[in-house]
Amino acid sequence: MNLKLDENLPSRLVSTLSKMGHDVDTVAEEGITGADDDKVWSATQQAGKFLITQDLDFSDIRRFQPGTHEGILLVRLRDPGADSLASAVEAVFTSEDVASWRRCFVVLTEHKIRVRRAE
């Protein structure tokens, strides 16, 4: 998959996900750290990337309707420290068919994964 990590995820995930065969870049690498969500979203879509983020602003499925973009993984952990975030994302990319999430809105918590597909 072509992935973009938002600035609120540990940068060490780039190496982890790349070793799994994914093409990964980050908001920081693009120099848009601290930019508003519209700029992050525009850069993500122009690059044809699937966004991985913790930012609840990307949870509005009316605005980010499944099927209209490459996909969003919203990570929502109770304790979103760098280690727990990296572990959760690595685990889901190891255990799930993430390629099937293309063009979907996905929420990852400690207890479940919800996938909203295009209608």
Long-range pairs of 35-43 with CB within 8 A, sequence gap ≥ 24: 40/6, 43/4
Q: How many Cα atoms occupy the beta-carbon half-sphere of 32 within 13 Å? A: 17
Question: Is 90 exceeded by the pLDDT of residue 80?
Answer: yes
Tell me if 115 sits within 8 A of 106, measured CB to CB. Answer: yes
For the chain, domain boundaries: 2-116
pLDDT tens per residue across span 57-77: 999 999 999 999 999 999 999
pLDDT tens per residue across span 87-97: 999 999 999 99
Question: What CATH class is the domain 2-116?
Answer: alpha beta
The β-bridge relationship of strands 23-26 and 2-5 is: parallel
Residue 119's pLDDT is what?
81
pLDDT tens per residue across span 5-28: 999 999 999 999 999 999 999 999
What's the predicted TM-score (pTM) here?
A: 0.96
CA distance 59 to 72: 9
